[in-house]
Structure 1
Amino acid sequence: MSPYAPRVVDELLDELQPHLPATSIYGPKGVGKTETARRRATSVLALDEPADAERLRAAPQLLRDLPGPLLVDEWQRWPSSWDLIRRAVDDGAAPGRFLVTGSSAPRGVAVHSGAGRIVGIRMRPMSLSERGVEIPTVSLGAMLAGTATIDGETDVALAGYVEEITASGFPGIRGAATARLRRFALDTYIDNIVQREFPEAGYPVRRPESLRAWLAAYAAASSTTAKYSEILDAATPNQGEKPTKVTTLTYRDALSGLWLLDPTPAWMPVSNHLSRLGQAAKHQLADPALAARLLNLDADALLAGQQGSPAIDHRTILGALFESLITLEAQVFAQGAEARVHHLRDRDGRHEVDLVIEGRGGRVVALEVKLAAVPTDKDARHLLWLKERLGPQLVDMAVICTGRHAYRRRDGVAVVPAALLGP
């Protein structure tokens, strides 16, 4: 077994979990929730194990009797366990008593939200720094504080980022010995979504091929605000009988419940410095490797600019997947900084900023993502436009790129190679 790779979320758990009666770690299958939680637990009830599930059904008092911290893993296999934990918290469970991991409750099963009793922390696939690709030198947290030092050098170039797009941030998949084994693991993961995860979540799939086509079309829409009707049309070209709108919304809801969709919401600032902003979210799958695999694109095809599927525009897909990778980075790092990740685009499309990260007190960091080694003035123009409108509220701005060096331009825009960005 590979040694445990520390995760950014570990620092958040170190700070919060000992003081909370119940902490839920949620996210997609295979992201590492169980391994992270097990390292903190004294006792474990794994509800995907029939013996443990039967023990708890027969003796719910185990939630009170087993020594803590107690991990209840895959709680959704017996949804009543969630309400039992909630009641135990209401009855005065000690701080640090429960760790809960798993997905959303199956469709049609009513469970209490747990609000105020069970605190949720999302876990995402691994960032580049968690993968050990590079030691980061530029802190997103420091950027939000307005104290960032912009320097550092990396040997990671375009080919390295393309490899990371396709290698996956899921620990078990990333750890495969060869690229072929990783592709096989990604195919198996997608098959499990369609054939197992959907039915277990209460969404039986009558036409698996339609769901796979919709997933591929969604992958092709990565880093865009395409309408769901456009995604449906891309998934069903030349088909007279298309899935209904209700069916496609069911796909979206089920995938969201499995934490496999991670859309970037539009930024809606409280101030009136900006007007006529678009409200559509940018589409993102939980891991850009899933998108690449759904589009049948490996690292060689992406680097060569080849077209792996009729559903994609081969001229732009690498840039879109690179933005997906950086969005994943920003989401992982922002969580520990108590910040939220958005994008900005005005309604007529004249101005857009790839990532707007809003932290405590309304402080904002703006990031443009460019598939270039040396960003140009054109790459920074939207950041400077936003700076003019926000003034001191915009505490830092950067172009995230594929170059070697981190530095600050004369106009105040930072240039940061993606591998050097960290929490």
Structure 2
Amino acid sequence: MAEYQQRIIDQVLDDIQPHLRALAIFGPKGVGKTATALQRAAWTIDLSLPAQRELIIADPSILTHTKGPVLVDEWQRLPEVWDHIRHAVDAGSPPGHFIIAGSSAPRGAVVHSGAGRIVPMRMRPLSIAERGIEAPTVRLADLLDGGADIHGSTALRLVDYVEEITASGFPAIRPLPPRVRRVELEAYLDNVVQREFPEQGYPVRKPEVLRAWLAAYAAATSSTAAYSKILDAATPGLPSKPAQETTLAYRDALSSLWLLDPVPAWIPSRNHLDRLGQAPKHQLADPALAARLLGLDAKALLRAEQGTGRRLREGTILGALFEHLVTLSVQAYAQAGEAPVGHLRTRNGDHEVDLIVQRSDGRVLPIEVKLADRVTDVDVKHLLWLRDRIGDDVVDAAVVYAGEHAYRRPDGIAVIPLALLGP
């Protein structure tokens, strides 16, 4: 058996899991939920196995009468187990007893809220820091504290980041040869359409339309394109397009499978700004899925203007996918620091900031993403605008780019290669 690879989420689990009666780890299939949970479990029940489902149906008390921590894996295969655990928590199960892993309950299943009893935590694919390709020299936690020391150099270049985009952050897929990775990612997407959707209670009558919608969503990566535009891009020339309810069902099913990871619009905790946009920025769980849906491998992504006819926004799809890779990493680091991540866009589009990481006191770290090996004054203008507008509520500001050196500009903006940014 392969040696377990420590994840950033392990730091969080070390702090909180022993004190929680029930913890639920959610995330897309293949992200490593079970492997992480197994590091903490004394006993495991896998509800993907019919025999173990029958065991719990026959005697749910097994869950509480077994020495914990008890890992209940693939819980959505027997949704009523959620309520068994909820009742066990109400009855006084010991701290650290339950770890739950899996997806959301299937459509139509009656599952009561676990609020106040079962604490949810999202697990994402491997961040750049978790992939071990470079030793980070700048911590997001230090940036959030203010006055971080910005230093370090990396030999990684654009071609290396393109490799990371297409390699994926799924632990079992990333180490494979490129051709095998493409086959595995294709099989992953086929499984979503042909198996996962029906299991979630969403029958797919026209798989080709769903696959086209997914491809259009991938083309909208890192944009705020309206779902109507995504639908139009997915079904060009069709006289009878799927109803809006159908596309919303797609979104709901993909969300329940944790395959969508949109970045919400940032809403300031203090009334410094007005006329901010409310639309989320579209992203899948992993940029490799988006690249695969668009039929783009590393060579294709490196060709200028590749995919011009498919994109729903200005700029290249490579720039959008690089932003996706940065966001995936920042989300993982920010989760460890209990800091939510959003994006800023004014309603008229005059100002945009790719990522806003917010501390618990409302102060923020704005981050711009730049697919280039140098950063100019133009690249920091929105960061300077925001700092001018909200003053001391900006604890620091940074540009994450594909260059060599980490440094601080004369205007105080930190410039950090993606490979050198860590939790």
Whether TM exceeds 0.5 here: the answer is: yes
Matched residue SS, 1:172: coil
Which AA in structure 2 matches 1:312? R
Cα distance between partner residues in 2 of 1:346 and 1:309: 26
Q: Does 1:139 align with 2:139?
A: yes
Displacement of 1:147 after TM fit?
Answer: 4.0
Q: Does 1:80 align with 2:69?
A: no
Cα distance between partner residues in 1 of 2:220 and 2:311: 8
Aligned to 2:235: 236
Displacement of 1:330 after TM fit?
Answer: 1.0
Aligned to 1:32: 32
Cα distance between partner residues in 1 of 2:318 and 2:387: 28
Cα distance between partner residues in 1 of 2:241 and 2:173: 33
What's the TM-score once normalised by structure 1's chain length? 0.98
Aligned to 1:7: 7
Contact 1:23 1:121 (C-alpha < 8 Å) held by counterparts: yes
| 1:156-175 alignment, distance < 5 Å | 156-175=156-175
Contact 1:344 1:355 (C-alpha < 8 Å) held by counterparts: yes
Cα distance between partner residues in 2 of 1:27 and 1:164: 20
Displacement of 1:101 after TM fit?
Answer: 0.3
Displacement of 1:270 after TM fit?
Answer: 2.8
Aligned to 1:54: 54
What's the TM-score once normalised by structure 2's chain length? 0.98
Aligned to 2:327: 327
Cα distance between partner residues in 2 of 1:55 and 1:13: 29
Displacement of 1:271 after TM fit?
Answer: 2.0
Kindly provide the CA deviation profile for residues 284-303 of structure 1, in whole angstroms up to 9, marking residues without a partner as x: 00100000000000001111
Q: Does 1:383 align with 2:376?
A: no
Aligned to 1:397: 397
Aligned to 1:318: 318
Matched residue SS, 1:130: helix
Which AA in structure 1 matches 2:239? G
Kindly provide the CA deviation profile for residues 91-114 of structure 1, in whole angstroms up to 9, marking residues without a partner as x: 000000000000000000110110
Matched residue SS, 2:130: coil
Displacement of 1:66 after TM fit?
Answer: 1.5
Cα distance between partner residues in 1 of 2:356 and 2:307: 31
Q: Does 1:292 align with 2:257?
A: no
Kindly provide the CA deviation profile for residues 52-74 of structure 1, in whole angstroms up to 9, marking residues without a partner as x: 11111111111012211000000
Aligned to 2:342: 342
Structure 2 residue runs of 5 or longer lacking an equivalent are none
Aligned to 1:364: 364
Cα distance between partner residues in 2 of 1:344 and 1:308: 26
Cα distance between partner residues in 1 of 2:269 and 2:102: 34
Cα distance between partner residues in 2 of 1:175 and 1:21: 36
- Stretches (4+) displaced over 4 A: none
Q: Tell which deviates more after alignment, 55-64 or 255-264.
A: 55-64
Which AA in structure 2 matches 1:215? L
Cα distance between partner residues in 2 of 1:15 and 1:271: 30
Aligned to 2:217: 218
Contact 2:306 2:316 (C-alpha < 8 Å) held by counterparts: no
Q: Tell which deviates more after alignment, 335-344 or 272-281.
A: 272-281
Displacement of 1:277 after TM fit?
Answer: 0.8
Contact 2:308 2:316 (C-alpha < 8 Å) held by counterparts: no
Contact 2:147 2:396 (C-alpha < 8 Å) held by counterparts: no
Which AA in structure 1 matches 2:332? V
Aligned to 1:125: 125
Structure 1 residue runs of 5 or longer lacking an equivalent are none
Q: Does 1:191 align with 2:227?
A: no
Matched residue SS, 1:5: coil
Which AA in structure 2 matches 1:209? E
Residue identity over aligned pairs, in percent, reads 62
Contact 2:344 2:354 (C-alpha < 8 Å) held by counterparts: yes
Aligned to 2:207: 208
Q: Does 1:275 align with 2:274?
A: yes
Cα distance between partner residues in 2 of 1:419 and 1:88: 44
Displacement of 1:310 after TM fit?
Answer: 4.2
Displacement of 1:281 after TM fit?
Answer: 0.6
Which AA in structure 1 matches 2:76? Q
Provide closer, same or farther for how the CA distance between residues 162 and 61 of structure 1 changes in structure 2, counting only shifts above 3 A: same
Displacement of 1:315 after TM fit?
Answer: 5.2
Q: Tell which deviates more after alignment, 49-58 or 389-398.
A: 49-58
Displacement of 1:241 after TM fit?
Answer: 1.2
Kindly provide the CA deviation profile for residues 261-291 of structure 1, in whole angstroms up to 9, marking residues without a partner as x: 0111111113222111111110000100000
Q: Does 1:266 align with 2:256?
A: no
- What RMSD over aligned residues (CA atoms) do the two structures have, in Å? 1.2
Displacement of 1:359 after TM fit?
Answer: 1.1
Matched residue SS, 1:362: coil
Displacement of 1:172 after TM fit?
Answer: 1.2
Kindly provide the CA deviation profile for residues 9-68 of structure 1, in whole angstroms up to 9, marking residues without a partner as x: 000000000000100000111110000001110000000012211111111111012211
Matched residue SS, 2:24: strand
Cα distance between partner residues in 2 of 1:304 and 1:351: 29
Cα distance between partner residues in 2 of 1:413 and 1:55: 58
Cα distance between partner residues in 1 of 2:327 and 2:359: 16
Contact 2:307 2:317 (C-alpha < 8 Å) held by counterparts: no
